Structure 1
Amino acid sequence: MTTRRAVLAGAVERLRAAGVPSPEHDAAELLAHVLGTERGRLVLVDAVDPAALPSYDALVARRAAREPLQHLTGRAWFRHVELAVGPGVFVPRPETELLAGWAVEQAGLVAEPVVVDLCTGSGAVAASVAHEVPTARVHAVELDPAAHAWAERNLAGTRVDLRLGDMATELEELAGTVDVVVCNPPYVPLEAWESVAPEARDHDPHLALFSGDDGLDALRVLERRAALLLRPGGVVGAEHADVQGASAPEVLSATGRWSEVRDHHDLAGRARFVTARLAR
């Protein structure tokens, strides 16, 4: 038997040397995954069965090669829901939980809210709204068939109406009736390819990452679609890159269709998402 501490120490060293941003966390998550337990319960494990070490070593090697942790464990936690994720779908980020929380808050202000999640990806935001606002009627749209398949899996058994299609054309029947439109669109400028973390650049679908020369092409489509879908006074929220704290709100402000255009920071103080209200 090898002690848990020794096994983790070796894995942390390998991950740190590979430039993995959170080596301690990831080493522990992978060990818990291999042992069939939770990371918080690893303290109860004194020694690791040698039979488990080859599987663990293989996963650590894949993480050192910058394969996303969530692809290795097959799951991601997002607010209060657990999601199945893997190749073909954008792995939801903790920062997006703030946008989802805003959508939950706004939906909670309406008796029977109609909420639309565009570019739903894994279904993370739609699942959160459905889970936290039981009275909401939630609709979600995803363009990429592979990502849509993951969303189908994650939204099975929920009340969410999931569509495979383009956010620019779907849900026409809801025009003028929606209370909240929320979206985590692609927003990375094409020229920023080299600056994207390997976990995202090499493993997330490029359709979910890149959006024209300035990264705002999808937001422009969203602005037009949200203006069509929302009732007067309805609200829209969309994530953006931290360098788009001025340019993303300007996409909305410039049209004259929106009031209360406001940008929001994440917990690290970085510009993260924009919200606005459709003028009455």
Structure 2
Amino acid sequence: MSGTETRVVLREALSVTTQRLGRAGVASPSVDARALIAEAAGTARPLILLDVLPDGFAAQLEQLTARRERREPLQLILGRAPFRRLMLRVREGVFIPRPETELALELLREHASGPLENLVDLCTGSGALAASALDEIPAARVLAVEIDPRAADLAVENLEAAGPGRGRVLRADLTADPAGPALAELAAAGPVDAILSNPPYIPPEAVPRDAEVLEHDPHRALFGGGEDGLAVPRAVISWAARLLRPGGVLIMEHADVQGPAARDAAARIGGFEQVSTAVDLTGRDRFLVARRAAGDPTPGSERLTR
């Protein structure tokens, strides 16, 4: 097949695949079609530069397209997801990193006071925030905490790829008894310079509409517990109050309607100052930013809510 013939095949493939994905309800059919075609062609180069297609291209593209038509997330089909400067490994059964979460690293740089050498990522999932911190802050060492074994195993891979030897993953339930042995390692980690977290926070009645989310993101990574979805986020705030050094900062993602409740939780738990809500790139409330108060004694385990 000549280069001209290859480009004819690619144009037809792009047209047909885009139409199929559009009919299936995929939000970005042309973008996804290009990604699937590149995957089937085994290339990271622009499609226009391809002169030769591998044997089995058509069959491979058909298989990939059929999976996306069934609304399997593109990231799972490709086995990877971009996050800031990294290309993270993703896997079925583990929460897929979202672009809006990337802003947490910018907020960390903006609000940090003093060095960023010891960090904790609570509810790390695939390890996206922890891995990005290792990648972008060369002096940092990161402890990532995750309850789900599949997610924890994946986080180990992503952290080691981003910062060999500088990150570790702890399997633990943040809402468990803080005095129990499972959380002893986390309790011993403080004082730390910063805590990042993208915990589950969806209220029980707010069922996601997108098939990609509802059918492929694990519910444990979506629903935060309690009537307002903030049971796990409150546990994150409590651990931040316990672990942060004076002046250390918590950056925690939440739903766009949970800003007031998250600030109220930080105030009730205590030990913080300069508590505020940061917006995402669309102007929606998205992150709790709370600085550990200087001179305030570290809250005891009795403040760690379940």
With the length of structure 1 as denominator, give the TM-score of the two structures: 0.92
Greater Rg by CA: 2
The alpha-carbon distance between structure 1 residues 158 and 64, as it changes in their structure 2 partners (threshold 3 A), is farther
CA contact (8 A) 1:243 1:271 kept: yes
Q: Give the percent of matched residue pairs that are identical in Structure 1 and Structure 2.
A: 45
2:265 to 247, 251, 264: 251
CA contact (8 A) 2:241 2:270 kept: no
Give unpaired runs (5+ residues) of structure 1. none
The alpha-carbon distance between structure 1 residues 104 and 132, as it changes in their structure 2 partners (threshold 3 A), is farther
How many angstroms does 1:48 deviate by? Answer: 5.1
Secondary structure of the residue that 1:272 maps to in structure 2?
strand
| Matches of 1:261 and 1:197, distance apart in 2 | 33
Secondary structure of the residue that 1:61 maps to in structure 2?
helix
Secondary structure of the residue that 1:202 maps to in structure 2?
helix
1:217 to 191, 206, 231: 231
> What residue number does 1:3 align with?
9
CA contact (8 A) 1:103 1:129 kept: no
1:229 to 203, 226, 243: 243
The alpha-carbon distance between structure 1 residues 226 and 112, as it changes in their structure 2 partners (threshold 3 A), is closer
Q: Trace 1:90-239 onto structure 2 (pairs within 5 A).
A: 90-106=95-111, 109-111=113-115, 113-156=117-160, 157-168=164-175, 169=178, 170=183, 171-175=186-190, 177-193=191-207, 195-212=208-225, 213-239=227-253
The alpha-carbon distance between structure 1 residues 214 and 32, as it changes in their structure 2 partners (threshold 3 A), is same
Amino acid at match of 1:126: A
How many angstroms does 1:47 deviate by? Answer: 7.2
**Aligned pairs, number:** 276
Q: Trace 1:74-85 onto structure 2 (pairs within 5 A).
A: 74-85=79-90
Displaced runs of 4+ in structure 1, greater than 6 A?
Answer: none
Q: Does 1:33 align with 2:46?
A: no
Query: For structure 1, which segment, 61-70 or 157-166, has the greater mean C-alpha deviation from structure 2 after superposition?
Result: 157-166
Query: For structure 1, which segment, 263-272 or 63-72, has the greater mean C-alpha deviation from structure 2 after superposition?
Result: 263-272
How many angstroms does 1:209 deviate by? Answer: 0.4
CA contact (8 A) 1:4 1:47 kept: no
| Matches of 1:60 and 1:273, distance apart in 2 | 36
How large is the RMSD of aligned CA atoms in angstroms?
1.9
CA contact (8 A) 1:104 1:129 kept: no
| Matches of 2:9 and 2:52, distance apart in 1 | 4
The alpha-carbon distance between structure 1 residues 56 and 146, as it changes in their structure 2 partners (threshold 3 A), is same
Give unpaired runs (5+ residues) of structure 2. 295-306
